[in-house]
Amino acid sequence: MKSDGQRARRVVVKVGSSSISGDNSKQIKPLVDVLSQLHRDVQVVLVTSGAIATGLPFLGLGERPSDLALQQAVAAVGQHALIVRYQQALDAHGITAGQVLLTSYDMDDPVSRKNAQRALDMLMDLDVLPIVNENDTVATQEIHFGDNDHLAALVARLINAEQLILLSDIESLRTAPPDQPGSEPISFVGFGESLSGVEFGASSSKIGSGGARTKVEAARLAAEAGVEVVVTATPKFAALMAGEQVGTRFAPNPSPHIR
């Protein structure tokens, strides 16, 4: 939870494609087990990647296609399968999921953004766990978020969350790629603190679209609105919720003007 010991009222948790697809699809159950505990205490929104990665084997594809129409078709298949897997894991905890698919237009247009906010508010008030993803089936390059770290930051701002947790295959941000000499983990980034001189490598995943740099950009976007951000690996989620100091924490803006 929040590092000052206070319990956050609303928390957004984002999980990357590489954490819940392919051989790592087995991580969905332990992820949901922790989410369900969190859900009992606060209002939670899960932002999940993985529609395309989940759909690949159903269509006999080995890697993410470059063709947009094929991406959209794979996403349509994978999104359904992904939600079924989440709901099956949630059934053990008596929690109902609500699927919310968004495009960047929904977040840019004032009317659509307000509708999305109302829908998420109502789902949480009904004790439903909203599961948000980009609507890859209709999104085009012109209206694409680019990565779900960015989407998660926008959702955190939209619902006035106190905390955003970015889960992936990255345990923490580092001063340089892990395979380089002198690479050290970064445990804390103060609000407005410069990370100049820090080198960020791309994600090691071949099926996701994010990486360390996108997480920094998303963290800054959320922190500007007063949201505390933690970046860590999916298997570390339980330890984080148990109060252990894991990953990289971005301090929130102490005087946010707008969310």
Binding site: what residues are annotated?
A: 14, 49, 136, 148, 168-169
Give the C-alpha separation, 236 to 50, whole Å. 19
Per-position DSSP letters for 8-61, written without gaps between them: PSEEEEEE-HHHHSGGGGGGHHHHHHHHHHHHHHSEEEEEE--HHHHHTGGGT-
Binding site per annotation, positions for substrate: 49, 136, 148
CB 41 within 8 A of CB 7: yes
Give the C-alpha separation, 45 to 96, whole Å. 12
Binding site per annotation, positions for ATP: 14, 168-169
